[in-house]
Amino acid sequence: MTLLEVENLRTYYTEDDGGLVRAADDVSFSIEPGETLGLVGESGSGKTTIAKSIIRLLADNAEIVDGSITHRGTEITDLSKKALNREIRWSEISMIPQNAMNAFDPVYTVGEQIVEVITVHERGTSTAEAMERARQLFEDLGIDPDRVDDYPHQFSGGMAQRAMIALALALNPSLILADEPTTALDVVIQDRILETIKRMQEEYDSAMILITHDMSVVAETCDRIAVVYGGRIVEIGDAETIIDDPRHPYTLGLRNAFPDITADDQALISIPGTPPDLVDPGEGCRFAPRCPFADEECWEVTPHPVEYEPGHLVECHRADEKAFLQAEAEKRETWLGQEVGDPTADRAPVEEVDD
Amino acid sequence: MATRTRPGWRDLPEKLSSGSRWIAGKFRVFEGDRIGQTGLVLLFGIILIGIFGRPITLDLFGMSQTLQPFSLAPYDPSVSHRGPDGRLLRLEGPSWAHPLGTNHLGRDVLSRVIVGARVSLIVGTIAAFMAVFIGTNIGLTAAYFGGWVDDVLMRITDIAYGLPFLPFAIVLLAIMGQSIYWIIFAIVIILWRSTARVIRSQVLSHKNRPYVESAEAIGASNLRIMYIHILPNVLPLAFLYAAFAVGYAVIAEASLSFLGFGPPEMISWGGMIFTAFNQDAIRQAWWWVFPPGLMIMFFVMSVFFIGRTLEMVVNPELRHRE
């Protein structure tokens, strides 16, 4: 049975001047139990909004306007806050935030906070039992169990992130939302934390949505990848398909922007232009202004997802020209073309990385 | 009744001992903290003076029950002393018989200072506690829920800000009668507003911190987030305002006593200073003015010092800063 099903989700933010920011616009995807889905995209593409819609942690000015989110058949968007707290939050869906250090309450020890989560959600569990579980979790995550008595500020960044993973796993949830869990850490620690998350997720048999802007992170960790652009999922499919055989020009561009360790002496190619303004985006493909392959149809008609291989959906009018797109996208000249409608794009915004 | 293998009361000693260990652990912050210890000693001394200053008797069903027979005060504070020649001992300087001299009615100043501790303690602690309790809750609720709740509560606070203390207290006491309870009430009504404002702004900043969001994600209810997560983070500020409030309450009580709105039979430190002022004795009778003034100062100081140290109980980051 599908664990989580998101259908036609639209989450809009109302700005002070009354404008609507369509941060998630017609987003659909699903997750099977135990699966890891990566949400990749630039900053401001709507990845976090999608995750926060699932656990209903949206800001006061944001609203789920349309669509449904079902967890094992239960509609989450309709649940009262009380029912949501009791049935879904943390016991079924937990979250690993970006900056664990600030995500702990500074006045309680980390152990006390894990104990609180356990005793509040599982009535009848004694404090001593809960503390024992907290110590066990710490041990599983490679932290000295005696550190449960420490306060958050006594932890290093990586250790706080591990403690946060312990907290996320405390109730053995069916789904973990990891919102850029390694962004605040240095590269060495990042790698270890990802390994830990992966290992724990398998051990505890939880599904995970991993939100990141880092293509290499999802490549290593995820079973499936959804590429988010301008509040929409532009391409979704198996990790291998998205990494090795993508069809969407944006995915091709993202892939170029990250180094391939097998190739030597490569210069990274970046995608020109900036993410779209999500206030009233209008008709047409949202990537068209930055897309080197955009034609008239792309500007006028909003594309809809088309399934090319089983489970591989692409939202692009020219996705059927796979071979052409892939060949052209590898060439630097392709991405030097000016951004249509943006007169400043002549100054080829290409970053060169020499190493 | 079903057989219970472990009756609840059997756990009681264990629970009590673990509870007292917890409290003792929290009070360890006073270790090595001279200022906090000074505050504790001062406050403890003033409380002892308050309790043992005069015997406490309780009238129950026509029977008077003595709860506390000791009297630290050498004399009855309302007896006028006369010299061997039968003359009233007016404004006598310190002597062996009267270490702090006498006042304009020949009453023993030391006894009056000792007895006056009670009023200051009662007014100071009750008024400050109530004001900070109300202010903290209102500030917390207003900031946490925001919207119309915030609007309503903050407009009420604005109204409280519009009340001038003395005219309000004078009218209140004139209507309701001069009693220590109405004095406390008047002080509380004036004092809670500043705490409410300050706590509200502090909670507003805490409300958007990641730990509150994660508490929400964990499924914590509003009340739990407010009182278990946000409140301990803003408590140091409440302590500080409680210390301010104690000082303010003692001084406000003194002002009201000075204006003659305290109960006439009530002896308080503020009242003493103002009587001295009224009698134009401030410049000559230092023994009448300094002792109650110093006592007010010590009391306010002790609360400040303790409040400063208690910050460390609620703020572990302060505790670990070497």
Write out residues in chain A with pLDDT < 50, as ranges: 341-355
- Chain A residue closest in CA terms to B216: A57
B217 reaches A (C-beta below 8 A)? yes
Q: For residue B300, what are its two tokens?
A: 């306010």
pLDDT digits (tens, 9 = 90+) for A87-119: 899 999 999 988 888 899 988 899 999 999 999
Question: Looking at beta carbons, which residues of chain A come within 8 Å of B320?
Answer: 151, 153-154
pLDDT digits (tens, 9 = 90+) for A229-275: 999 999 999 999 998 889 999 998 888 877 766 666 667 788 888 88
Predicted pLDDT of residue B22: 67
pLDDT digits (tens, 9 = 90+) for B53-101: 887 777 777 777 777 777 777 878 877 887 778 787 777 778 887 888 7
Predicted pLDDT of residue B119: 86
Query: CB neighbours of B258 closer than 8 A, spacing ≥ 6?
Result: B270, B271, B273, B274, B277, B278
The answer to whether the predicted template modeling score (pTM) of the entire model surpasses 0.80 is no
Residues in chain A: 355
Distance from CA of B215 to the nearest CA of A (A): 8
How far is Cα B101 from Cα B104, in angstroms, rounded to an integer? 10
Distance from CA of A234 to the nearest CA of B (A): 28
Predicted pLDDT of residue B107: 85
B316 reaches A (C-beta below 8 A)? yes
Q: Given A95, A116, A120, which is nearest B217 (Cβ)? A: A95
Query: CB neighbours of A254 closer than 8 A, spacing ≥ 6?
Result: A40, A215, A227, A271
Beta strands B56-60 and A224-229, pairing class: unpaired
pLDDT digits (tens, 9 = 90+) for B261-286: 878 778 888 888 878 888 887 788 88
Q: For residue A14, what are its two tokens?
A: 């109302």
Cβ of B317 and A153 within 8 Å? yes
pLDDT digits (tens, 9 = 90+) for A284-302: 898 988 888 888 888 888 8
Query: By three-state DSSP, how is residue A176 classified?
Result: strand
pLDDT digits (tens, 9 = 90+) for B129-145: 999 999 999 999 999 99
pLDDT digits (tens, 9 = 90+) for B145-161: 999 999 999 999 999 99
Q: How far is CA B43 from CA B36, B39, B267, in A?
A: 11, 6, 20
Cβ of A104 and B315 within 8 Å? no
Whether the complex's predicted ipTM is more than 0.90 is answered with no
Cβ of B316 and A55 within 8 Å? no
Region class of A97: left (phi > 0), else alpha (psi between -120 and 50), else beta? beta
Please give the DSSP secondary-structure letter assigned to residue B28. Answer: G
The answer, yes or no, to whether residue B5 has pLDDT greater than 70, is no
Which of A61, A105, A179 should we substitute to test contact with B (largest number of B Cβ atoms within 10 Å)? Answer: A105
- Chain A residue closest in CA terms to B208: A59
Q: How far is CA A170 from CA A99, A192, A200, A201, A281, in A?
A: 18, 20, 11, 12, 42
